[in-house]
Amino acid sequence: MSEVKIAAETRTEFGKGAARRIRRDNKVPGVLYGHGSEPLHLTLPGHELLLALRTPNVLIALDIDGKGNELAIPKAVQRDPLKGFLEHVDLLLVKRGEKVNVEIPVHTEGELAAGGNLLEHVLNALPVEAEATHIPESVTVSVEGLEAGASVLAKDITLPKGVSLAVEADTVVLQVLAAQAEEPSAEGAEGVEGTEA
């Protein structure tokens, strides 16, 4: 997993007005939490942060006020619901070798068995525990030839070395649903009810 270096500044202004001023300068307000330390309020460069957050669970090396690097992973990202720009980010302080709980995207490959069945992603992301500097970007699951009624459980997914499940092993991640038959017409349903009476 690659590290993304980002220069950050501590901030002393808080509130909506201060946040608006920060965003006007194409920067993003954020907070760095973790390891029992006081939350550290930061200002981060908007464009660099946006690019970094394209990678799920990206490892960010923060150079805070030019005093050296702190490692962090994104914990919560708030975006403008209409325009999509970053409004705020919460970062979790991590150390090399430390295990963290994260969710990694689940990708599928292969074709289902013939018959027009549907694949349902019960979980779009799989909760796992991994070393902070070796978080996988995603896991890929083969659905080749799966038929209606088949399920893929968390324990069926092959994880990279050093990564373990942070969810019950029997949790359903994917399931194959039978193709829907056309619903009977309303008249037909009424006729059936009438015969039961």
How many structural domains is the chain composed of? Answer: 2
Shared-domain flag, residues 87 and 9: yes
Calpha distance 47→28 (Å, rounded) = 9
User: And the tokens for 14?
Assistant: 């808080």
- Judged by phi (left if over 0) then psi (alpha if -120 to 50, else beta), residue 110 lies in left
Question: What is the domain extent for residue 171?
Answer: 100-177
Considering the domain architecture, whether residues 49 and 127 belong to the same structural domain is answered as no
Q: Are 11 and 41 in contact (CB under 8 A)?
A: yes
Residue 69 lies in a domain: yes
CA of residue 52 relative to chain centroid, distance: 14
Residues 135-159: what's their mean pLDDT?
90
List the CATH number of the domain containing 21: 2.40.240.10
- The 10s digit of each residue's pLDDT in 165-193 is 999 999 999 999 987 765 555 554 444 44
Q: Say whether both 135 and 150 belong to one domain.
A: yes
The confidence band for 194, taking pLDDT boundaries of 50, 70 and 90, is very low
Q: Based on the domain organization, do 127 and 80 belong to the same domain?
A: no
Residue 194 lies in a domain: no
Report whether 155 contacts 166 (CB < 8 A). Answer: no
pLDDT (average), residues 36-46 = 84
> pLDDT by residue (tens digit) across 70-126?
888 888 888 877 777 778 888 988 888 888 888 999 999 988 887 788 999 999 999
Number of residues that this document lists for the chain: 197
pLDDT the model gives residue 81: 79
Q: Which two tokens stand for residue 31?
A: 């907070």
In whole angstroms, give the CA distance from residue 56 to residue 136: 9
Task: Classify residue 157: in a domain, yes or no.
Answer: yes
Is residue 183 in a domain?
A: no
Same domain, 20 and 50: yes
| Judgement on whether residues 7 and 88 belong to the same structural domain of the protein | yes
**Are 24 and 40 in the same domain?**
yes
To which H or E segment does residue 50 belong? helix 46-52
For 143, which DSSP code?
-
Same-domain status, 24 and 84: yes
Name the one residue in this structure whose structure tokens are 């039961």.
196
